[in-house]
Amino acid sequence: MVQAIKRDEAFVEPEGIHVETTQPERRSRKPPILLVHGALTGSWLWADFAAYLAERGWEAHALNLRGHFTSDNADLESVSMRDYADDVGVAVRHIGRPPVIIGWGIGSLAAMLHAERHPVLGLVLLAPSPPAAALPRRPDDHELRLVPDVYDARWWGWIAPMARLREWMPDMEDAELSKMQELLAGASESGSARRERMRGVEVAASRINAPSLVIGAGLDDVVHPAEARRVADLLGADYEFVPAASHFGLVMGSGTWPQVAQSVHGWLEERRPAMLARLAELGAAPVGAR
């Protein structure tokens, strides 16, 4: 049953991390969800996805990593993936209970880095940036030098003529592509964190004690579905493949995100009893009585 929802926001101090919350009007016993965006983006990426989950009784929190969208500025030249994982920890502290973490792109890698050191109830990784053990190849020094210390969406290729974007992301409508480019304009990303990912970020997969789902996108020009599959194999995770989805389309393309959200919701509901039992074991009783 679809429920009425409400929205709230908070700046978590002293770190200055901005968290947007979308939740059902009536609190439920379902575990909280933390949504972690990827490169150059922010909580805006999850607007439809968060509403979908909240309408079905799940409390969804979307953070903005340091230096992204509405969170405080940061020295992106020196930011690392471990810094982004720390931001995930700040958002978890704000939520007050171990969540299920849903990540996209580098947000998935930050989620894995958090989960290897802290308890989580589950991981859902959409087109995950692969850790070292799942990388298909390592770059040479020339490739690394081509990455600016700070890069923008135009350098990355995500601000481009509409015809080119339609070719890359056929699962997104023109209005969605225009919104994407508008919100990406002026955004910056850490070149140092990108070079770190290219070299390989070590993740201790054996220390991640949570059910996991990885979803790969057939039209993804950022994270090849074979890379997503390698991440699933590394974690011993469930794996799903959406042939018609692009990288952005997984989370905000009307041609594919509803299918992805439905799959994620079904996976969450199937594992909800075990997640609630784990939450009780951790001494974090769920809020509400439903």
pLDDT in tens, 144-156: 999 999 999 999 9
Residue 92 pLDDT exceeds 90: yes
Instruction: Tell me which amino acid residue 82 is.
Output: R
* DSSP states along 73-131: P--TTT--HHHHHHHHHHHHHHH-S--EEEEETHHHHHHHHHHTTS--SEEEEESPPP-
> Please, which residues have CB within 8 angstroms of residue 21's CB and are 6 or more apart in sequence?
7, 8, 9, 10, 59, 60, 61, 62
Q: Where are the domains of the chain?
A: 5-281
Closest by alpha carbon to 234, among 131, 114, 113? 131
**In the chain, pLDDT over 90 holds for what percent of residues?**
93
Query: Which tokens is 69 given?
Result: 């969208």
Instruction: Tell me which amino acid residue 290 is.
Output: R
Residue 283 pLDDT exceeds 60: yes
Tell me how far CA of residue 173 lies from CA of 15, 86, 157, 168, in angstroms.
Answer: 36, 35, 18, 12
d(CA 288, CA 290): 6
pLDDT value, residue 2: 87
d(CA 220, CA 181): 17
What is the assigned CATH class of domain 5-281? alpha beta
Query: Which tokens is 168 given?
Result: 């890359």
| 66 in Cβ contact with 79 (< 8 Å) | yes
Phi, psi dihedral angles at 23 (to 5 degrees):
-145, 160
- Taking the whole predicted model, whether its pTM rises above 0.85 is answered as yes
pLDDT value, residue 141: 94
Supply the Cα-derived Rg of the chain in whole angstroms.
18
3-state secondary structure of 5: strand
Task: Name which residue leads in pLDDT, 26 or 274.
Answer: 274
Residue 138: other Cβ atoms inside 10 A: 11
What average pLDDT does this structure show over 72-82? 94
Average pLDDT for the chain: 95
Q: Where does the pLDDT of residue 73 fall: very low under 50, low under 70, confident under 90, or very high at 90 and above?
A: confident
d(CA 157, CA 39): 12
pLDDT in tens, 172-223: 999 999 999 999 999 999 999 999 999 999 999 999 999 999 999 999 999 9
Residue 269 pLDDT exceeds 80: yes
